[in-house]
Amino acid sequence: DEWNTEHHGNSGLVQRVKDSEISTKQAEIQTLDFLEKYVNPSASPMCGNTICQDRRFLYNYMPKLEEFFHYRHIDVSTLKELAVRWKPESVMVREGESAHLALSDIHDSIKELKHYREAFIDV
Protein backbone atom coordinates (compact mmCIF):
# COMPACT_ATOMS: atom_id res chain seq x y z
CA ASP A 1 0.00 0.00 0.00
CA GLU A 2 1.01 3.65 -0.33
CA TRP A 3 1.95 4.23 3.33
CA ASN A 4 4.24 1.19 3.52
CA THR A 5 5.81 1.89 0.15
CA GLU A 6 6.60 5.48 1.13
CA HIS A 7 7.79 4.97 4.71
CA HIS A 8 9.66 1.70 4.33
CA GLY A 9 11.09 2.79 0.99
CA ASN A 10 12.30 6.13 2.39
CA SER A 11 13.82 4.49 5.48
CA GLY A 12 15.83 2.11 3.32
CA LEU A 13 14.16 -0.95 4.83
CA VAL A 14 12.86 -2.28 1.51
CA GLN A 15 16.32 -2.16 -0.05
CA ARG A 16 17.97 -3.73 3.00
CA VAL A 17 15.48 -6.61 2.85
CA LYS A 18 16.17 -7.10 -0.86
CA ASP A 19 19.93 -7.05 -0.22
CA SER A 20 19.78 -9.36 2.81
CA GLU A 21 21.15 -12.88 2.60
CA ILE A 22 19.12 -13.98 5.64
CA SER A 23 15.88 -15.76 4.77
CA THR A 24 12.65 -15.20 6.65
CA LYS A 25 13.04 -18.66 8.18
CA GLN A 26 16.60 -17.92 9.32
CA ALA A 27 15.48 -14.62 10.83
CA GLU A 28 12.70 -16.42 12.69
CA ILE A 29 15.14 -19.00 14.09
CA GLN A 30 17.69 -16.37 15.11
CA THR A 31 15.02 -14.29 16.83
CA LEU A 32 13.68 -17.30 18.71
CA ASP A 33 17.20 -18.28 19.77
CA PHE A 34 17.68 -14.78 21.18
CA LEU A 35 14.30 -14.58 22.95
CA GLU A 36 14.60 -18.05 24.50
CA LYS A 37 17.67 -16.86 26.42
CA TYR A 38 15.59 -14.29 28.29
CA VAL A 39 11.96 -15.42 28.46
CA ASN A 40 9.95 -18.64 28.49
CA PRO A 41 7.56 -19.45 25.66
CA SER A 42 4.06 -17.97 26.08
CA ALA A 43 5.21 -15.85 29.02
CA SER A 44 5.66 -12.49 27.32
CA PRO A 45 3.02 -10.53 25.46
CA MET A 46 4.03 -8.62 22.37
CA CYS A 47 4.16 -4.90 23.05
CA GLY A 48 4.38 -1.90 20.74
CA ASN A 49 2.39 0.48 18.58
CA THR A 50 -0.29 -0.93 16.28
CA ILE A 51 1.11 -4.40 16.79
CA CYS A 52 -1.89 -6.16 15.28
CA GLN A 53 -0.08 -5.60 11.97
CA ASP A 54 3.10 -7.16 13.37
CA ARG A 55 1.12 -10.09 14.70
CA ARG A 56 -0.47 -10.67 11.29
CA PHE A 57 2.94 -10.62 9.64
CA LEU A 58 4.34 -13.11 12.15
CA TYR A 59 1.29 -15.37 11.82
CA ASN A 60 1.75 -15.50 8.05
CA TYR A 61 5.54 -15.55 7.72
CA MET A 62 7.02 -16.53 11.11
CA PRO A 63 4.41 -18.72 12.80
CA LYS A 64 6.75 -20.25 15.38
CA LEU A 65 7.80 -16.79 16.52
CA GLU A 66 4.17 -15.66 16.70
CA GLU A 67 3.35 -18.71 18.83
CA PHE A 68 6.26 -17.94 21.15
CA PHE A 69 4.50 -14.84 22.49
CA HIS A 70 1.60 -14.88 24.93
CA TYR A 71 -1.73 -14.74 23.13
CA ARG A 72 -2.43 -11.34 24.67
CA HIS A 73 -0.59 -8.23 23.62
CA ILE A 74 -0.06 -4.67 24.85
CA ASP A 75 -0.81 -2.14 22.15
CA VAL A 76 0.50 1.31 23.08
CA SER A 77 -1.71 2.78 20.35
CA THR A 78 -4.77 1.73 22.36
CA LEU A 79 -3.54 3.74 25.35
CA LYS A 80 -2.96 6.71 23.06
CA GLU A 81 -6.51 6.47 21.68
CA LEU A 82 -7.98 6.22 25.18
CA ALA A 83 -5.94 9.22 26.32
CA VAL A 84 -7.17 11.27 23.36
CA ARG A 85 -10.74 10.56 24.38
CA TRP A 86 -10.56 10.49 28.17
CA LYS A 87 -7.63 12.71 29.14
CA PRO A 88 -6.46 14.74 26.13
CA GLU A 89 -3.93 16.75 28.13
CA SER A 90 -1.99 13.52 28.75
CA VAL A 91 -1.43 12.72 25.07
CA MET A 92 2.25 12.43 24.25
CA VAL A 93 3.43 14.77 21.53
CA ARG A 94 6.21 13.13 19.53
CA GLU A 95 9.30 15.09 18.69
CA GLY A 96 10.21 14.69 15.03
CA GLU A 97 9.36 11.87 12.67
CA SER A 98 9.81 8.21 13.47
CA ALA A 99 12.49 6.43 11.45
CA HIS A 100 10.10 3.47 11.02
CA LEU A 101 12.90 1.04 11.75
CA ALA A 102 12.49 -1.79 14.23
CA LEU A 103 14.93 -0.72 16.93
CA SER A 104 13.98 2.96 16.88
CA ASP A 105 10.28 2.01 16.88
CA ILE A 106 10.88 -0.22 19.91
CA HIS A 107 12.59 2.61 21.77
CA ASP A 108 9.80 5.03 20.79
CA SER A 109 7.13 2.58 21.99
CA ILE A 110 8.88 2.03 25.34
CA LYS A 111 9.19 5.79 25.84
CA GLU A 112 5.53 6.29 24.95
CA LEU A 113 4.34 3.46 27.21
CA LYS A 114 6.31 4.94 30.12
CA HIS A 115 4.72 8.31 29.41
CA TYR A 116 1.17 6.91 29.48
CA ARG A 117 1.92 4.91 32.60
CA GLU A 118 2.82 8.14 34.41
CA ALA A 119 0.56 10.72 32.71
CA PHE A 120 -2.56 8.72 31.98
CA ILE A 121 -2.72 5.59 34.11
CA ASP A 122 -0.91 7.19 37.07
CA VAL A 123 0.85 4.06 38.27
Domains of the chain: 2-121 (3.30.420.10)
The Cα–Cα gap between 5 and 97 comes to 16
Q: Is 59 a catalytic residue?
A: no
Task: pLDDT band for 121, please (50, 70, 90 cuts).
Answer: confident
Question: pTM here?
Answer: 0.82
Whether the pLDDT of residue 98 is over 80: the answer is no
Average of pLDDT values for 85-113? 87
CB 36 within 8 A of CB 69: no
Whether the pLDDT of residue 123 is over 70: the answer is no
Give 20-79 pLDDT, tens digit per residue: 999 999 999 999 999 999 999 999 999 999 999 899 999 999 999 999 999 999 999 999
Catalytic site residue from 38, 59, 61, 71: 71
